[in-house]
Amino acid sequence: MINTSSNDRVHEWEVLLKPGVCWFIWDDDGTLVFSSPCERITSILTENMPVESIFPPDIAFLIHEMYRDGSELLLGAGKKIRLTIPGTDLVWPGSISRLSNGRFSLIWAEKEDVKPETEPESGSILDHIRSERAVRKANEKLNYFNAIVRHDITNLIMGIVGYIDIIDEIVDDEEVRLLLRKSRDLGERIRRVAELTRTYQDLGIRPPGFIEAKSSITKILERYEFSEMVTSDVNVTGLFIYVDRMFDAIIYEIVRNSLQYGGKGVHISFSFRKDPEGLVLIIEDSGPGIEPDLKERIFSRNYADRRGYGLYLAAEILDITGISIRETGTFGEGARFEMIFPPDTYRFGN
């Protein structure tokens, strides 16, 4: 414990979450390091502080996850983050920006203490609110546990692949090497499935809501892995849609598929139309398209000819708010995905 004022005593790691202080963080041979030019803070703590030696293990782990997620940002880009202690209402909001390869700036905003809502007198409503809070906390804990398991699986797979590489170097039998290659491929498939859980780990944590379609789509198209790889037209100005907060992951999966099969330079367009079903959000690309007998199978969990579960999970996420998705393109002319939004799940505004 350290003194920060005449009346307060806080743990050292809480000083590292102090609002308004800008930290630089980077990876030093697998260990994240905090550093700050702020003399008042660095006079209390050492200038370079490994995350693992200061933070409790659970918080250190969550900061590692934020660091890995931040690696997807373009140089100079930033995004908002929220450090949430699993199973509690204590939240630290902030923002992380990518300064260079492996180096980031991190600044925290005011700490959020989420106070319970005023409880109504009606017993049935009160029970509903209590159940909702319990489910939310359970989801947060499952989310945290999922991150730990994913981390452990990834590390174990790396160890197994390392041993396979060693064996491959010391054997000459081609049949054995063939088995080793198949084992390595299986290990890579397990790693991809584990990484997929990172993309969808926030599913169900926050309630659905209206989002601006254009900003969500543009954010995905501007990601570094799509930069200069795809061209696009986004004609959905003023459209707001009621979706789960994981909608970005759906757009990401569709764009990733277009690039994978259409190749560098593939063109993707986003538009909408109204029809008796409601509103149809249309995503078209200039790739090879999808064969007629695969149009429904690509959304199935049992579809084998793929590298992940992206489109299956996309359909499941959309279904949370009553939205359906279908593929209506012409094979040889490009893929065309249509999302059908019922009348109460979209609106227009500024």
Alpha helices (runs of H) in 247-342, residue ranges in sequence order: 247-262, 310-319
CA distance 144 to 159: 23
Q: Show contacts of 51-56: CB within 8 Å, 24+ apart.
A: 51/25, 54/12, 54/13, 54/16, 55/13, 55/16, 56/13
**Class assignment of domain 209-348?**
alpha beta
Residue 267 tokens, joined: 């063109």
Burial 67-99 (b: 16+ CB within 10 A, else e): beebeebeeeebeebebbebeeeeebebebbbe
Residues 6+ apart with CB under 8 A from 108: 17, 18, 19, 20, 21, 92, 93, 94
Kindly list the domain boundaries of the chain, sorted by start residue: 2-113, 123-199, 209-348
pLDDT in tens, the chain (350 residues): 333 333 444 566 777 777 887 888 888 777 788 777 665 555 445 556 677 666 777 777 778 778 877 777 777 788 888 787 665 667 788 888 888 778 888 888 876 555 444 444 455 666 656 666 666 666 666 666 677 777 778 888 888 888 898 998 888 888 888 999 889 888 887 877 777 666 666 665 567 888 999 999 998 998 888 888 999 999 999 999 998 878 888 898 899 889 988 999 999 999 999 988 899 999 999 999 998 888 888 887 665 454 445 788 888 888 888 899 999 999 999 999 999 999 889 999 86
CA distance 187 to 20: 43
- Whole-angstrom CA distances from 191 to 119, 156, 177, 202, 286 are 45, 10, 21, 19, 30
